[in-house]
Structure 1
Amino acid sequence: MSERVPTFTADQVRGAERPLLDIGVPLMRRAAAALADVVRAELATPETVVTLTGVLEAVIPESPVELRPRVLVLAGSGDNGGDALYAAVRLSRVADVDILLVSERFHEAALAAAVAAGVRRVDLPEVDDDLRHYALVVDGILGIGASTDSALRGRARGVVTAIRDDMHRGGRMPRVIAVDIPSGLHPDTGAADDAVLAASVTVTFGAVKAGLVTGRGPELAGDVVLVDIGLGPALESVEPAGEASVSRIVTAPTD
Protein backbone atom coordinates (compact mmCIF):
# COMPACT_ATOMS: atom_id res chain seq x y z
CA MET A 1 0.00 0.00 0.00
CA SER A 2 1.45 3.36 -1.05
CA GLU A 3 1.91 6.38 1.21
CA ARG A 4 1.71 10.07 0.30
CA VAL A 5 4.73 12.17 1.27
CA PRO A 6 6.07 15.64 0.41
CA THR A 7 8.77 16.13 -2.21
CA PHE A 8 11.73 18.50 -1.97
CA THR A 9 14.40 20.02 -4.19
CA ALA A 10 18.04 18.99 -4.09
CA ASP A 11 19.00 22.26 -2.38
CA GLN A 12 16.38 21.74 0.32
CA VAL A 13 17.62 18.22 1.02
CA ARG A 14 21.26 19.32 1.13
CA GLY A 15 20.30 22.12 3.51
CA ALA A 16 18.61 19.62 5.82
CA GLU A 17 21.62 17.29 5.72
CA ARG A 18 24.22 19.96 6.47
CA PRO A 19 23.59 20.45 10.23
CA LEU A 20 23.69 16.69 10.79
CA LEU A 21 26.90 16.28 8.82
CA ASP A 22 28.45 19.19 10.72
CA ILE A 23 27.97 17.37 14.03
CA GLY A 24 29.26 14.09 12.65
CA VAL A 25 26.06 12.12 12.08
CA PRO A 26 27.07 9.22 9.78
CA LEU A 27 24.42 9.76 7.13
CA MET A 28 26.32 7.76 4.49
CA ARG A 29 26.57 4.70 6.73
CA ARG A 30 22.87 4.98 7.61
CA ALA A 31 21.93 5.27 3.94
CA ALA A 32 24.17 2.36 2.95
CA ALA A 33 22.75 0.08 5.63
CA ALA A 34 19.18 0.82 4.56
CA LEU A 35 20.10 0.40 0.89
CA ALA A 36 21.62 -3.01 1.59
CA ASP A 37 18.46 -4.06 3.47
CA VAL A 38 16.26 -3.05 0.53
CA VAL A 39 18.52 -4.83 -1.98
CA ARG A 40 18.48 -8.00 0.15
CA ALA A 41 14.68 -7.86 0.17
CA GLU A 42 14.66 -7.36 -3.61
CA LEU A 43 16.79 -10.47 -4.05
CA ALA A 44 13.90 -12.40 -2.49
CA THR A 45 11.10 -10.92 -4.64
CA PRO A 46 9.38 -13.23 -7.14
CA GLU A 47 10.68 -11.20 -10.10
CA THR A 48 14.29 -11.48 -8.98
CA VAL A 49 13.96 -15.12 -7.97
CA VAL A 50 12.70 -15.94 -11.50
CA THR A 51 15.70 -14.10 -12.96
CA LEU A 52 18.10 -15.83 -10.59
CA THR A 53 16.61 -19.26 -11.28
CA GLY A 54 17.09 -18.73 -14.99
CA VAL A 55 20.67 -17.61 -14.44
CA LEU A 56 21.53 -20.69 -12.38
CA GLU A 57 19.92 -23.01 -14.91
CA ALA A 58 21.93 -21.36 -17.67
CA VAL A 59 25.20 -21.62 -15.75
CA ILE A 60 24.84 -25.11 -14.25
CA PRO A 61 21.79 -26.98 -15.64
CA GLU A 62 20.18 -29.35 -13.13
CA SER A 63 22.91 -28.59 -10.60
CA PRO A 64 22.14 -29.56 -6.98
CA VAL A 65 24.53 -26.82 -5.83
CA GLU A 66 22.84 -23.67 -4.57
CA LEU A 67 24.76 -20.70 -5.95
CA ARG A 68 24.59 -17.27 -4.37
CA PRO A 69 23.03 -14.45 -6.38
CA ARG A 70 25.36 -12.03 -8.15
CA VAL A 71 24.97 -8.28 -7.79
CA LEU A 72 26.68 -5.61 -9.87
CA VAL A 73 27.33 -2.25 -8.19
CA LEU A 74 27.99 0.79 -10.41
CA ALA A 75 29.85 3.33 -8.25
CA GLY A 76 30.53 6.98 -9.07
CA SER A 77 32.80 9.53 -7.47
CA GLY A 78 30.40 11.20 -5.05
CA ASP A 79 28.33 10.34 -2.01
CA ASN A 80 26.07 8.03 -4.04
CA GLY A 81 29.11 5.98 -4.94
CA GLY A 82 30.08 5.83 -1.26
CA ASP A 83 26.56 4.73 -0.31
CA ALA A 84 26.69 1.97 -2.91
CA LEU A 85 30.18 0.79 -1.90
CA TYR A 86 29.35 0.60 1.79
CA ALA A 87 26.13 -1.23 0.90
CA ALA A 88 28.26 -3.70 -1.09
CA VAL A 89 30.11 -4.58 2.13
CA ARG A 90 26.85 -5.68 3.74
CA LEU A 91 25.56 -7.37 0.60
CA SER A 92 28.70 -9.48 0.36
CA ARG A 93 27.31 -11.57 3.24
CA VAL A 94 24.44 -12.83 1.08
CA ALA A 95 25.58 -12.36 -2.52
CA ASP A 96 28.61 -12.35 -4.78
CA VAL A 97 29.13 -8.64 -5.41
CA ASP A 98 31.07 -7.04 -8.25
CA ILE A 99 31.95 -3.34 -8.40
CA LEU A 100 32.38 -1.35 -11.59
CA LEU A 101 33.93 2.07 -10.91
CA VAL A 102 32.84 4.66 -13.46
CA SER A 103 35.26 7.41 -12.44
CA GLU A 104 38.94 7.80 -11.68
CA ARG A 105 37.81 9.31 -8.38
CA PHE A 106 35.90 7.26 -5.81
CA HIS A 107 35.27 6.99 -2.08
CA GLU A 108 38.55 5.35 -1.08
CA ALA A 109 37.56 4.21 2.42
CA ALA A 110 34.34 2.66 1.13
CA LEU A 111 36.13 0.85 -1.71
CA ALA A 112 38.78 -0.46 0.69
CA ALA A 113 36.06 -1.78 3.01
CA ALA A 114 34.30 -3.46 0.09
CA VAL A 115 37.46 -5.12 -1.22
CA ALA A 116 38.33 -6.30 2.30
CA ALA A 117 34.87 -7.90 2.48
CA GLY A 118 35.59 -9.91 -0.66
CA VAL A 119 33.86 -7.71 -3.22
CA ARG A 120 35.45 -8.01 -6.67
CA ARG A 121 36.37 -5.13 -8.98
CA VAL A 122 35.39 -5.63 -12.62
CA ASP A 123 35.62 -3.64 -15.83
CA LEU A 124 33.12 -3.04 -18.62
CA PRO A 125 34.21 -5.87 -20.96
CA GLU A 126 33.59 -8.40 -18.18
CA VAL A 127 30.17 -6.89 -17.48
CA ASP A 128 29.24 -6.92 -21.18
CA ASP A 129 30.01 -10.63 -21.32
CA ASP A 130 28.25 -11.44 -18.04
CA LEU A 131 25.36 -9.00 -17.60
CA ARG A 132 22.61 -11.61 -17.83
CA HIS A 133 24.20 -13.55 -14.97
CA TYR A 134 23.54 -10.76 -12.45
CA ALA A 135 20.34 -10.84 -10.42
CA LEU A 136 20.45 -7.09 -9.74
CA VAL A 137 22.35 -3.98 -10.82
CA VAL A 138 22.75 -1.23 -8.19
CA ASP A 139 23.06 2.20 -9.83
CA GLY A 140 25.18 4.38 -7.52
CA ILE A 141 26.76 6.61 -10.16
CA LEU A 142 25.27 10.06 -9.66
CA GLY A 143 22.93 11.69 -7.15
CA ILE A 144 21.61 15.11 -6.20
CA GLY A 145 25.07 16.68 -6.28
CA ALA A 146 24.61 17.04 -10.05
CA SER A 147 21.59 19.33 -9.80
CA THR A 148 23.08 21.90 -12.20
CA ASP A 149 23.70 19.46 -15.04
CA SER A 150 22.59 15.90 -14.38
CA ALA A 151 23.56 14.37 -17.74
CA LEU A 152 26.12 11.58 -17.53
CA ARG A 153 29.45 12.16 -19.22
CA GLY A 154 32.66 10.34 -20.06
CA ARG A 155 33.18 6.85 -18.72
CA ALA A 156 29.94 6.90 -16.72
CA ARG A 157 27.94 7.62 -19.85
CA GLY A 158 29.75 4.90 -21.77
CA VAL A 159 29.07 2.31 -19.06
CA VAL A 160 25.37 3.19 -18.77
CA THR A 161 24.90 3.26 -22.53
CA ALA A 162 26.56 -0.15 -22.94
CA ILE A 163 24.46 -1.74 -20.17
CA ARG A 164 21.27 -0.11 -21.42
CA ASP A 165 21.91 -1.36 -24.95
CA ASP A 166 22.52 -4.89 -23.62
CA MET A 167 19.19 -4.74 -21.82
CA HIS A 168 17.37 -3.43 -24.88
CA ARG A 169 18.62 -6.37 -26.90
CA GLY A 170 16.32 -8.54 -24.82
CA GLY A 171 16.72 -11.87 -23.13
CA ARG A 172 17.16 -12.44 -19.42
CA MET A 173 18.35 -9.21 -17.81
CA PRO A 174 18.80 -8.02 -14.20
CA ARG A 175 16.55 -5.60 -12.40
CA VAL A 176 18.00 -2.18 -11.54
CA ILE A 177 18.00 -0.56 -8.09
CA ALA A 178 18.75 3.18 -8.20
CA VAL A 179 20.59 4.77 -5.27
CA ASP A 180 18.73 7.96 -4.25
CA ILE A 181 17.84 8.83 -7.86
CA PRO A 182 18.43 7.16 -11.25
CA SER A 183 21.80 8.48 -12.46
CA GLY A 184 21.29 11.08 -15.16
CA LEU A 185 17.83 12.13 -13.96
CA HIS A 186 17.63 15.77 -12.84
CA PRO A 187 16.64 15.73 -9.14
CA ASP A 188 14.41 18.81 -9.41
CA THR A 189 12.88 18.80 -12.90
CA GLY A 190 12.90 15.12 -13.86
CA ALA A 191 14.68 15.96 -17.12
CA ALA A 192 16.87 13.23 -18.61
CA ASP A 193 18.38 12.17 -21.91
CA ASP A 194 18.67 8.57 -23.11
CA ALA A 195 21.77 7.67 -21.03
CA VAL A 196 19.81 6.56 -17.96
CA LEU A 197 19.12 3.08 -16.60
CA ALA A 198 15.41 2.76 -15.89
CA ALA A 199 15.07 1.45 -12.35
CA SER A 200 12.69 -1.15 -11.00
CA VAL A 201 13.12 0.44 -7.56
CA THR A 202 14.61 3.76 -6.43
CA VAL A 203 15.83 3.89 -2.83
CA THR A 204 15.80 7.58 -1.98
CA PHE A 205 17.29 9.02 1.22
CA GLY A 206 15.87 11.60 3.61
CA ALA A 207 13.12 12.90 1.35
CA VAL A 208 11.62 12.22 -2.05
CA LYS A 209 13.32 14.37 -4.67
CA ALA A 210 10.92 16.37 -6.83
CA GLY A 211 12.45 14.99 -10.03
CA LEU A 212 11.35 11.45 -9.18
CA VAL A 213 7.72 12.41 -9.82
CA THR A 214 8.04 15.08 -12.54
CA GLY A 215 9.26 15.00 -16.13
CA ARG A 216 10.68 11.57 -16.91
CA GLY A 217 10.91 10.68 -13.23
CA PRO A 218 7.89 8.35 -13.08
CA GLU A 219 9.09 6.56 -16.21
CA LEU A 220 12.61 5.99 -14.87
CA ALA A 221 12.29 5.66 -11.08
CA GLY A 222 10.05 2.59 -10.75
CA ASP A 223 8.76 1.98 -7.23
CA VAL A 224 10.11 4.57 -4.79
CA VAL A 225 11.25 3.48 -1.33
CA LEU A 226 11.85 6.37 1.07
CA VAL A 227 14.55 5.88 3.70
CA ASP A 228 14.24 7.99 6.85
CA ILE A 229 17.79 9.04 7.76
CA GLY A 230 16.73 11.70 10.26
CA LEU A 231 16.02 14.78 8.10
CA GLY A 232 12.40 15.14 9.24
CA PRO A 233 12.93 17.87 11.88
CA ALA A 234 15.03 20.00 9.53
CA LEU A 235 12.45 19.73 6.73
CA GLU A 236 9.40 20.55 8.86
CA SER A 237 9.85 24.29 8.32
CA VAL A 238 10.59 23.96 4.59
CA GLU A 239 7.89 24.45 1.96
CA PRO A 240 7.66 21.20 -0.05
CA ALA A 241 8.03 21.25 -3.82
CA GLY A 242 5.07 18.91 -4.21
CA GLU A 243 3.75 15.52 -3.19
CA ALA A 244 4.42 11.92 -4.19
CA SER A 245 3.38 8.34 -3.51
CA VAL A 246 6.02 5.93 -2.23
CA SER A 247 5.72 2.17 -2.05
CA ARG A 248 7.00 2.18 1.53
CA ILE A 249 8.99 4.10 4.12
CA VAL A 250 11.83 2.45 6.01
CA THR A 251 13.94 3.75 8.86
CA ALA A 252 17.69 3.55 8.44
CA PRO A 253 19.61 1.65 11.12
CA THR A 254 21.46 3.99 13.47
CA ASP A 255 24.21 1.60 14.62
Structure 2
Amino acid sequence: MILGYSAAQLRAAEAPLLEAGVPLMQRAAAGLAREARALVGRDDARVVLLVGTGNNGADALYAGAILARAGADVTIVRTGDRVHDAAIDAALGAGAHEFPPTATADRAGSAAPDGIARLVSSADLVFDGILGTGTSAHPALRGTARDIVAAIIAAGSPTPVVAVDIPSGIHPDDGSVPDPCVLRAALTVTFGGYKAGLLLAPASGFAGEIRLVDIGLSEQLAAMEPLVTR
Protein backbone atom coordinates (compact mmCIF):
# COMPACT_ATOMS: atom_id res chain seq x y z
CA MET A 1 0.00 0.00 0.00
CA ILE A 2 1.22 3.49 -0.91
CA LEU A 3 0.12 6.48 1.17
CA GLY A 4 0.13 9.97 -0.28
CA TYR A 5 0.40 13.06 1.89
CA SER A 6 -0.13 16.77 1.35
CA ALA A 7 2.73 19.23 1.17
CA ALA A 8 1.55 20.77 4.44
CA GLN A 9 1.57 17.38 6.18
CA LEU A 10 5.09 16.66 5.02
CA ARG A 11 6.31 20.08 6.15
CA ALA A 12 4.72 19.45 9.56
CA ALA A 13 6.46 16.07 9.75
CA GLU A 14 9.80 17.66 8.92
CA ALA A 15 9.48 20.55 11.37
CA PRO A 16 10.54 18.83 14.63
CA LEU A 17 13.45 17.11 12.92
CA LEU A 18 14.69 20.35 11.39
CA GLU A 19 14.37 22.04 14.78
CA ALA A 20 16.49 19.25 16.24
CA GLY A 21 19.15 19.79 13.58
CA VAL A 22 18.58 16.56 11.66
CA PRO A 23 20.26 16.96 8.22
CA LEU A 24 17.19 16.19 6.13
CA MET A 25 18.48 17.93 3.01
CA GLN A 26 21.72 15.95 3.07
CA ARG A 27 19.77 12.71 3.50
CA ALA A 28 17.56 13.62 0.55
CA ALA A 29 20.53 14.56 -1.62
CA ALA A 30 22.36 11.33 -0.84
CA GLY A 31 19.30 9.32 -1.87
CA LEU A 32 18.83 11.41 -4.99
CA ALA A 33 22.44 10.90 -6.05
CA ARG A 34 22.20 7.16 -5.41
CA GLU A 35 19.06 6.77 -7.54
CA ALA A 36 20.48 8.95 -10.32
CA ARG A 37 23.69 6.94 -10.45
CA ALA A 38 21.69 3.71 -10.63
CA LEU A 39 19.60 5.10 -13.50
CA VAL A 40 22.52 6.27 -15.63
CA GLY A 41 24.67 3.27 -14.78
CA ARG A 42 28.10 4.87 -14.52
CA ASP A 43 30.06 7.44 -12.53
CA ASP A 44 31.41 9.58 -15.40
CA ALA A 45 28.02 10.67 -16.76
CA ARG A 46 27.30 14.17 -18.05
CA VAL A 47 24.65 15.59 -15.72
CA VAL A 48 22.78 18.89 -16.05
CA LEU A 49 21.11 20.40 -13.00
CA LEU A 50 18.15 22.73 -13.62
CA VAL A 51 18.18 24.62 -10.34
CA GLY A 52 15.45 26.81 -8.93
CA THR A 53 15.37 29.08 -5.91
CA GLY A 54 13.99 26.67 -3.32
CA ASN A 55 14.89 23.51 -1.47
CA ASN A 56 14.50 21.26 -4.51
CA GLY A 57 17.22 23.26 -6.23
CA ALA A 58 19.39 22.84 -3.14
CA ASP A 59 18.74 19.08 -3.10
CA ALA A 60 19.81 18.92 -6.75
CA LEU A 61 22.98 20.89 -6.01
CA TYR A 62 24.00 18.75 -3.05
CA ALA A 63 23.32 15.60 -5.08
CA GLY A 64 25.33 17.13 -7.93
CA ALA A 65 28.23 17.61 -5.53
CA ILE A 66 28.13 13.91 -4.64
CA LEU A 67 28.04 12.92 -8.32
CA ALA A 68 30.85 15.33 -9.23
CA ARG A 69 33.10 13.91 -6.51
CA ALA A 70 32.42 10.43 -7.94
CA GLY A 71 33.56 11.52 -11.41
CA ALA A 72 30.50 12.96 -13.14
CA ASP A 73 30.67 16.06 -15.36
CA VAL A 74 28.07 18.22 -13.63
CA THR A 75 26.72 21.44 -15.15
CA ILE A 76 24.52 23.84 -13.18
CA VAL A 77 21.85 25.92 -14.91
CA ARG A 78 20.15 28.58 -12.79
CA THR A 79 16.47 29.00 -13.62
CA GLY A 80 15.79 31.80 -11.14
CA ASP A 81 17.41 34.89 -9.72
CA ARG A 82 19.03 33.12 -6.76
CA VAL A 83 20.01 29.69 -5.48
CA HIS A 84 20.80 28.13 -2.10
CA ASP A 85 24.20 29.59 -1.22
CA ALA A 86 25.67 26.69 0.76
CA ALA A 87 24.42 24.14 -1.77
CA ILE A 88 25.94 25.85 -4.81
CA ASP A 89 29.19 26.35 -2.93
CA ALA A 90 29.23 22.61 -2.22
CA ALA A 91 28.56 21.74 -5.87
CA LEU A 92 31.18 24.12 -7.25
CA GLY A 93 33.66 23.03 -4.63
CA ALA A 94 33.18 19.41 -5.72
CA GLY A 95 34.02 20.28 -9.33
CA ALA A 96 30.66 21.16 -10.88
CA HIS A 97 30.52 24.19 -13.19
CA GLU A 98 27.91 26.69 -14.25
CA PHE A 99 26.39 27.36 -17.66
CA PRO A 100 27.20 29.96 -18.77
CA PRO A 101 30.47 30.25 -16.80
CA THR A 102 29.60 33.70 -15.45
CA ALA A 103 26.12 32.55 -14.35
CA THR A 104 24.64 35.53 -16.21
CA ALA A 105 21.96 35.25 -18.84
CA ASP A 106 23.30 37.82 -21.26
CA ARG A 107 26.82 36.66 -22.14
CA ALA A 108 26.67 36.39 -25.93
CA GLY A 109 23.27 34.75 -25.57
CA SER A 110 24.91 31.56 -24.37
CA ALA A 111 22.26 31.01 -21.70
CA ALA A 112 19.31 31.49 -24.05
CA PRO A 113 16.72 28.73 -23.67
CA ASP A 114 17.72 27.16 -27.00
CA GLY A 115 21.33 26.94 -25.85
CA ILE A 116 20.26 25.28 -22.62
CA ALA A 117 18.09 22.86 -24.58
CA ARG A 118 21.12 21.85 -26.66
CA LEU A 119 23.16 21.40 -23.49
CA VAL A 120 20.47 19.14 -22.01
CA SER A 121 20.16 17.14 -25.24
CA SER A 122 23.88 16.33 -25.12
CA ALA A 123 23.80 15.17 -21.49
CA ASP A 124 23.24 11.70 -20.06
CA LEU A 125 20.87 12.90 -17.34
CA VAL A 126 19.08 16.07 -16.32
CA PHE A 127 17.75 16.95 -12.86
CA ASP A 128 14.52 18.92 -12.66
CA GLY A 129 15.07 20.88 -9.45
CA ILE A 130 13.15 23.97 -10.51
CA LEU A 131 10.04 24.00 -8.31
CA GLY A 132 8.92 22.01 -5.30
CA THR A 133 6.03 21.60 -2.92
CA GLY A 134 6.43 25.16 -1.64
CA THR A 135 4.70 26.44 -4.79
CA SER A 136 1.46 24.55 -4.12
CA ALA A 137 -0.78 27.59 -4.56
CA HIS A 138 0.67 28.44 -7.99
CA PRO A 139 2.58 25.39 -9.31
CA ALA A 140 2.86 26.39 -12.98
CA LEU A 141 6.27 27.38 -14.31
CA ARG A 142 6.77 31.04 -15.13
CA GLY A 143 9.29 33.38 -16.69
CA THR A 144 12.78 32.12 -17.48
CA ALA A 145 12.12 28.68 -16.00
CA ARG A 146 9.13 28.15 -18.27
CA ASP A 147 11.07 29.37 -21.31
CA ILE A 148 13.86 26.88 -20.58
CA VAL A 149 11.49 23.94 -20.12
CA ALA A 150 9.51 24.87 -23.23
CA ALA A 151 12.73 24.93 -25.28
CA ILE A 152 13.79 21.52 -23.94
CA ILE A 153 10.38 20.05 -24.78
CA ALA A 154 10.39 21.62 -28.27
CA ALA A 155 13.86 20.20 -28.95
CA GLY A 156 12.60 16.69 -28.27
CA SER A 157 15.52 16.00 -25.95
CA PRO A 158 16.15 12.27 -25.44
CA THR A 159 17.92 12.87 -22.12
CA PRO A 160 16.25 11.11 -19.16
CA VAL A 161 14.81 13.51 -16.60
CA VAL A 162 15.07 12.90 -12.86
CA ALA A 163 12.46 14.97 -11.04
CA VAL A 164 13.65 16.16 -7.63
CA ASP A 165 10.80 15.38 -5.19
CA ILE A 166 8.11 16.25 -7.79
CA PRO A 167 8.10 17.25 -11.45
CA SER A 168 8.12 21.05 -11.56
CA GLY A 169 4.72 22.41 -12.51
CA ILE A 170 2.44 19.78 -10.95
CA HIS A 171 0.29 20.34 -7.88
CA PRO A 172 1.67 18.18 -5.07
CA ASP A 173 -1.71 17.69 -3.37
CA ASP A 174 -4.41 17.27 -6.00
CA GLY A 175 -2.37 16.14 -9.03
CA SER A 176 -3.51 18.97 -11.26
CA VAL A 177 -1.25 20.31 -14.01
CA PRO A 178 -2.29 23.92 -14.67
CA ASP A 179 0.14 24.29 -17.59
CA PRO A 180 1.33 21.31 -19.69
CA CYS A 181 4.81 22.86 -19.93
CA VAL A 182 6.27 20.22 -17.61
CA LEU A 183 9.27 17.96 -18.16
CA ARG A 184 8.15 14.33 -18.19
CA ALA A 185 10.36 12.46 -15.77
CA ALA A 186 11.80 9.02 -16.35
CA LEU A 187 12.22 8.89 -12.58
CA THR A 188 10.86 10.95 -9.69
CA VAL A 189 12.87 10.69 -6.48
CA THR A 190 10.62 11.89 -3.69
CA PHE A 191 11.62 12.46 -0.08
CA GLY A 192 10.14 11.47 3.26
CA GLY A 193 6.72 10.44 1.99
CA TYR A 194 4.81 10.17 -1.26
CA LYS A 195 3.23 13.42 -2.34
CA ALA A 196 -0.46 12.80 -2.99
CA GLY A 197 -0.30 14.56 -6.35
CA LEU A 198 2.24 12.04 -7.66
CA LEU A 199 -0.42 9.33 -7.31
CA LEU A 200 -3.22 11.25 -9.05
CA ALA A 201 -3.89 11.97 -12.72
CA PRO A 202 -2.91 13.95 -14.66
CA ALA A 203 0.28 14.64 -12.65
CA SER A 204 1.03 10.94 -12.29
CA GLY A 205 1.54 10.83 -16.05
CA PHE A 206 4.53 13.17 -15.70
CA ALA A 207 6.22 11.39 -12.80
CA GLY A 208 7.58 8.25 -14.47
CA GLU A 209 8.85 5.67 -11.99
CA ILE A 210 8.63 6.95 -8.41
CA ARG A 211 11.27 6.11 -5.81
CA LEU A 212 10.85 7.11 -2.17
CA VAL A 213 13.92 8.13 -0.16
CA ASP A 214 13.48 7.62 3.58
CA ILE A 215 14.74 10.70 5.41
CA GLY A 216 13.26 9.81 8.80
CA LEU A 217 9.64 10.99 8.74
CA SER A 218 7.94 7.63 9.31
CA GLU A 219 7.02 8.23 12.96
CA GLN A 220 5.50 11.64 12.27
CA LEU A 221 3.58 10.51 9.18
CA ALA A 222 2.17 7.47 10.97
CA ALA A 223 0.13 9.85 13.11
CA MET A 224 -1.40 11.59 10.07
CA GLU A 225 -4.34 10.68 7.84
CA PRO A 226 -3.05 10.41 4.25
CA LEU A 227 -4.84 12.21 1.44
CA VAL A 228 -4.51 9.25 -0.94
CA THR A 229 -4.20 5.49 -0.43
CA ARG A 230 -3.15 3.23 -3.28
Instruction: Confirm or deny a common fold (TM above 0.5).
Output: yes
Name the counterpart of 2:107.
none
SS of structure 2 residue aligned to 1:211: helix
Q: 5 Å matches for 1:1-255? A: 4-44=1-41, 68-92=44-68, 93-122=70-99, 123=111, 124-167=113-156, 173-192=158-177, 193-244=179-230
Name the counterpart of 1:64.
none
Q: Identical aligned pairs, as a percentage? A: 46
Distance 2:160 2:217 in 1: 29
SS of structure 2 residue aligned to 1:72: strand
Is the 2:114–2:148 Cα contact (8 Å) retained in structure 1?
A: no
Q: Tell me the CA shift for residue 125 of structure 1.
A: 4.8
Distance 1:84 1:194 in 2: 23
Q: For each residue in 1:33-85, what CA deviation from the matched residue of structure 2 results, as whole angstroms up to 9, or x when unmatched?
A: 110000000111xxxx8xxxxxxxxxxxxxxxxx9321111110000000000
SS of structure 1 residue aligned to 2:201: coil
User: What amino acid maps onto 1:136 in structure 2?
Assistant: L
SS of structure 1 residue aligned to 2:14: helix
User: What amino acid maps onto 2:64 in structure 1?
Assistant: A
Q: Tell me the CA shift for residue 128 of structure 1.
A: 2.8
Is the 2:75–2:97 Cα contact (8 Å) retained in structure 1?
A: yes
SS of structure 1 residue aligned to 2:223: coil
Q: Which has the larger radius of gyration?
A: 1
Q: For each residue in 1:148-186, what CA deviation from the matched residue of structure 2 results, as whole angstroms up to 9, or x when unmatched?
A: 11111111111111111112xxxx610000000000000
Q: Tell me the CA shift for residue 194 of structure 1.
A: 1.4
Distance 2:189 2:120 in 1: 22
Q: Mind listing any 5+ residue stretches in structure 1 that lack a counterpart?
A: 50-66, 245-255
**TM-score scaled by structure 1?**
0.81
Is the 2:116–2:148 Cα contact (8 Å) retained in structure 1?
A: no
Distance 2:223 2:118 in 1: 50
Distance 1:86 1:240 in 2: 29
Name the counterpart of 2:102.
none
Q: Mind listing any 5+ residue stretches in structure 2 that lack a counterpart?
A: 100-110
Deviates more, 1:212-221 or 1:9-18: 212-221
Distance 2:130 2:167 in 1: 8
Aligned residues: 216
